[in-house]
């Protein structure tokens, strides 16, 4: 059996809020087993694109294929776009995990409770089996010892790692991250980025919206640069950051200058 070449194939995707179109005709292929970083100025549509892939937002036009399977909507041969039945949407979504900027842990459940909730409620596993699997995921993010703690008893970095473990517990083929370190104190971003780096090294397919240009340049195998709702550039970090650089990207890097980007901007 040959797998489709892309983990995610986005074709002609448009998204409008009311009359305002915020994503214009996006075409993007996300490679399997690679880390793709989405960068771009605030308001360029990175979150909206990621949320469309997570099916938290419904695109207005276009298609998203996850491993070749249409997500949410299907284009019929006659050009009609039809909504798929809930069980088919559910089946495709099951392959996608999402990590949010605000962690979004459920405050009334322990770390382990957050990780095992869907294993019990959705997958129907026994408590014991769910706990075993949940502990394995917490071990993976280095938080086995914090399993019985509530989110309010954890640091931001620990909460985000629990959120990653929660997404991993369902064994998704694709993990989406929307600015996973943006609400963390600087000294806590490292522990989260390290977990993500490990996942990337294990061959997880990841799409990461980030302002950590250093992370994007070193961990991202592909980088897509969004600007005003379009994918302006798409390539390897080498291709994007090497001179001659696109003037919009240079402008963006100068605005969002961090240590990683400063390094990249130095003349070779």
* Largest interatomic CA distance in the chain: 58
User: Of 117 and 144, which has the nearer Cβ to another protein?
Assistant: 117
Residue 157 or 237 having the CB closest to another protein = 157
**How far from 114 is each of 67, 136, 161, 268, CA to CA, in Å?**
27, 14, 12, 47
Task: Candidates 9-17, 42-50, 129-137, 242-250: pick the segment binding Mg ion (CB under 5 A).
Answer: 42-50
Inter-residue contact 46 to 53 (CB < 8 Å): no
39, β-bridge pairs = 225
Nearest-approach distance from CB 42 to Mg ion, in angstroms: 7
Which one of Mg ion, another protein, ligand ADP, none interacts with residue 35, CB within 5 to 8 A by kind? Answer: none
CB closer to another protein, 85 vs 107 = 107
Residue 110 lies near ligand ADP (rule: CB under 6 A): no
Interacting residue with ligand ADP among 35, 36, 48, 181 (CB under 6 A) = 48
Residue 224 CB, nearest approach to ligand ADP (Å):
12
**Alpha helices by DSSP H, the chain:** 46-53, 86-93, 111-121, 127-140, 156-168, 186-201, 213-219, 237-241, 247-255, 259-265
Report, in Å, the least distance between residue 198 CB and another protein. 21
Which tokens belong to 101? 């900027």
Site for ligand ADP contains 17 (CB under 6 A):
yes
Among 5, 12, 33, 43, binds ligand ADP (CB under 6 A): 43
CB of 192 to ligand ADP, least distance (A): 18
- What minimum distance in Å lies between the beta carbon of 158 and ligand ADP? 25
Q: Supply the minimum distance, in Å, between the C-beta of residue 89 and ligand ADP.
A: 20
Q: How far is CA 268 from the centre of its chain?
A: 31
By CB under 6 A, residue 161 contacts ligand ADP:
no
| 54-82 exposure pattern, b = at least 16 Cβ within 10 A, e = fewer | bbebebebbbbbbbeebbbbeeeeeeeee
176 binds ligand ADP (CB under 6 A): no
Tell me how far apart the alpha carbons of residues 245 and 266 are, in angstroms, rounded to a whole number. Answer: 12
123 HSE (CA, 13 A, CB side): 18
Residues that bind ligand ADP (CB under 6 A): 17, 22, 40, 42-48
């Amino acid at each position: 059996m040959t797998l489709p070449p892309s983990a995610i194939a986005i074709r002609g995707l448009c998204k409008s809020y009311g009359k305002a179109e915020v994503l214009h005709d996006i075409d993007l292929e996300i490679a399997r087993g690679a880390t793709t970083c989405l960068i771009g100025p605030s308001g360029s549509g990175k979150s909206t694109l990621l949320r469309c892939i997570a099916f938290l937002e419904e695109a207005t036009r276009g298609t998203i294929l996850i491993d070749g399977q249409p997500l949410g909507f299907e284009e019929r041969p006659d050009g009609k776009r039809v909504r798929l039945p809930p069980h088919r949407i559910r089946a495709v979504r099951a392959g996608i995990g999402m990590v949010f900027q605000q962690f979004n842990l459920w405050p009334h459940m322990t770390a382990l409770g957050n990780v095992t909730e869907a294993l019990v409620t959705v997958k129907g596993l026994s408590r014991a089996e769910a706990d075993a699997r949940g502990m394995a995921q917490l071990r993976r993010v280095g938080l086995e010892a914090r399993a019985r703690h509530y989110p309010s008893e954890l640091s931001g970095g620990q909460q985000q790692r629990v959120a990653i473990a929660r997404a991993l517990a369902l064994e998704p083929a694709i993990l989406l991250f929307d600015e996973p370190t943006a609400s963390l104190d600087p000294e806590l971003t490292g522990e989260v980025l390290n977990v993500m780096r490990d996942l990337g090294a294990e061959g997880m397919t990841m799409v990461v919206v980030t302002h950590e240009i250093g992370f994007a340049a070193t961990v991202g195998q592909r980088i897509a640069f969004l600007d005003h709702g379009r994918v302006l550039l798409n390539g390897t970090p080498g291709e994007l950051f090497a001179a001659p650089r696109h003037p919009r990207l240079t402008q963006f890097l100068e605005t969002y200058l961090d240590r990683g980007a400063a390094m990249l901007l130095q003349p070779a």
